[in-house]
Chains A and B, each alone.
Chain A
């Protein structure tokens, strides 16, 4: 499946690779712009705010403005984008892919509100998958290591006690992450919905 794909975050390091890969697969790719000018969309890819390295700070030191920026804003931005995308997604067959850092599932010291936002996004996708499945829309999550999503982010404790199964270099391999994103967006994966795929070199392995 290829077709029209809208990509939010196309200018990020991961976004550039996603756009490049989608184009190579024959998709008609548009960076997120004015939805009014958009016709039917086969897939919407939301890369979120994760490319910006977050400040690692003790939770108790955060003020309300910090919490709004770290927690409310990413979730509200996704909610607004999903509203817009819903009006344009092809029925049946429309797809949504949302990218989150794995710390949303594992938690992270010093990033409590930021990680909570990632998990809120993941649950929004799961719930939307349950609702919008009736319209033939499938929705999935791609989880990647923050070290890959946000080059330059502070070193964080690994989300796993075990080393990455595919080696340290695979953790932040954005080309591989982009391929996984594209597999969900336009690949032969229409049977998947409400799923979280993790592309982090085999670091976080869900229970």
Chain B
């Protein structure tokens, strides 16, 4: 499949989990993929695996909470591949469960730093290049069903994921005249954070799966990745400001 041949995508948090799955899917669709990971130890094996499968990939160490780090990743990407058409911001530092009445500024900073400020930095750094890409320009933010329905266990997580959705809507309106689309994906899929939660609660996997219409938890590459490929491709050039919830039919919005 070469739907994205000739295009270049950056995927943050691509060293594992959903980000890795999206990176692999975009590469399989023909895109040059930058595996933006906080640590090369996790990102480089993903990039190497993509190259070994015949794809084009480069790992760049990136801390999405640092503006200069994101800008540097974008600059290196453009130098290497000649442009940037697709920016996918997925990186997120998993939040521990908390009560709202106990949540302090540190929990806020931890959650907002990666999810929202990472979105700000990725959007700001990518914008000149997405504008140059015109109708091929894509910003895709990885949000969560919790950003729609709220969360009884992680209220701050829910708030920052909701903020990402509205940020995407605003930018979709602001950047639409230039042809750029901005969308969110709200996945529930296998990830290190979810695996850790399952390890601590053996019944949780079945409980989560039982909440879904499809009775299973998503696979990052084969369930979530194709949605990112769709949003990145020509088939979604008229789709903007939307959140596609990919959770196997757990939360069904109005």
- Asked if B230 lies at the interface with its beta carbon under 8 angstroms from chain A, I say no
From A64, A108, A118, give the contact of B67 (CB < 8 A). A64
Could you tell me the distance between the alpha carbons of A207 and B163 in the complex, rounded to whole angstroms? Answer: 18
Task: Output the nearest chain B residue to A82 by Cβ-Cβ distance.
Answer: B100
Known contacts A72-B112, A75-B108, A108-B173; A113/B167 CB under 8 A: yes
- Asked if B114 lies at the interface with its beta carbon under 8 angstroms from chain A, I say no
Cβ–Cβ contact B150 & A107, under 8 A: no
Residues of B within 8 Å of A16, CB to CB, are none
Question: Which one of A21-29, A46-54, A128-136 is at the interface?
Answer: A128-136
- Asked if B62 lies at the interface with its beta carbon under 8 angstroms from chain A, I say no
Cβ–Cβ contact B158 & A59, under 8 A: no
Could you tell me the distance between the alpha carbons of A54 and B220 in the complex, rounded to whole angstroms? Answer: 39
Residues of A within 8 Å of B67, CB to CB, are 64
Residues A31-52 near B (CB distance < 8 A): none
Residues B74-121 near A (CB distance < 8 A): 99-101, 103, 105, 108, 112, 116-117, 120
Chain A residues within 8 Å of B, Cβ to Cβ? 58-60, 62, 64, 67, 71-72, 75-76, 79, 82-83, 86, 103-113, 115-124, 126-132, 157, 194, 206-207
Chain B residues within 8 Å of A, Cβ to Cβ? 67, 99-101, 103, 105, 108, 112, 116-117, 120, 123-124, 127-128, 147, 149-152, 154-156, 158-174, 241, 253-254
13 A–B pairs (Cβ distance < 8 Å), ordered by A = A75-B163, A83-B101, A105-B166, A107-B166, A112-B167, A112-B174, A113-B167, A116-B167, A123-B147, A123-B150, A124-B159, A131-B152, A132-B100
